[in-house]
């Protein structure tokens, strides 16, 4: 019987496995950054394509709130979940040439009775308070009372004496409205939520 003290010790094989060859740290970090960048670009592309769109205001019909060459962002999805409301600033295809886009303020919604008397706007027989229209931007035009048809909106520019709007081309069909102006970002001093 072999002496337990003299028995050969079990072989001292390596109990730890060799680590698998790993990529250099810098390469892993670079791949991680590239993946993050790709995901960020995809999200930005989705947001710009389907949700928000930066646009440039051209013309003076929405002064003083929006000036010529001002940069704003419009939300293209908001009207899938909420209704177009009086006071909203909307962007739409110009009814007489759908290659052009206009930006105006919604004054009356479907079913409203709208009229203008010497520049003063009335909706459903009541005068509309318009703090966004300075006195010097009013004009003296009148518009006979009309009912806004279903799926259409009566829109006006804030600079009434300089605006081509529903007084000229009539109410705008809902199908032509493709966004709500929500935020101004340039020039920097005018940055903020649009009202």
Domain parsing of the chain, residue ranges: 54-193
CATH architecture of 54-193: Ribbon (2.10)
Residues labelled as active-site residues = 61, 104
Q: 189 pLDDT exceeds 70?
A: yes
Q: What is the pLDDT of residues 44-94, one digit of tens each?
A: 777 666 678 889 999 999 999 999 999 999 999 999 999 999 999 999 999
- Asked if residue 116 lies in contact with residue 122, where contact means CB atoms within 8 angstroms, the answer is yes
Rounded to the nearest angstrom, the gap between the alpha carbon of residue 58 and the centroid of all alpha carbons in its chain is 17
Over residues 109-153, the pLDDT tens digits come to: 999 999 999 999 999 999 999 999 999 999 999 999 999 999 999
Question: C-alpha angle 156/161/162, rounded to 5°?
Answer: 75
- Cα distances from 65 to residues 27, 88, 158, 175, in angstroms, run 51, 13, 8, 25
Contacts of 92 (CB under 8 A, 6+ apart): 101, 102, 103, 104, 155, 172, 176, 177, 178
């Amino acid at each position: 019987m072999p002496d337990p003290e003299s028995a050969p010790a079990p072989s001292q094989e390596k109990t730890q496995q060799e680590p698998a060859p790993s990529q250099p740290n810098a390469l892993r970090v670079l791949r991680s950054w590239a993946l993050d960048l790709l995901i960020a670009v995809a999200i930005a592309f989705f947001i710009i394509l389907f949700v928000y769109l930066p646009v440039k205001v051209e013309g003076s019909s929405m002064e003083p709130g929006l000036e010529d060459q001002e940069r704003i962002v419009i939300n293209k999805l908001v009207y899938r979940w909420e209704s177009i409301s009086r006071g909203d600033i909307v962007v739409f295809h110009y009814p007489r040439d759908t290659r052009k886009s206009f930006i105006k303020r919604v004054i009356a919604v479907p079913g409203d009775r709208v009229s203008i008397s010497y520049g003063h706007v009335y909706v459903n027989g009541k005068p509309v308070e318009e703090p966004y229209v300075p006195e010097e931007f009013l004009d003296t035009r009148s518009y006979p009372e009309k009912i806004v048809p279903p799926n259409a909106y009566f829109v006006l520019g804030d600079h009434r004496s300089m605006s081509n709007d529903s007084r000229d081309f009539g109410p705008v069909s809902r199908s032509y409205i493709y966004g709500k102006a929500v935020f101004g970002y340039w020039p920097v001093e005018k940055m903020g939520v649009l009202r």
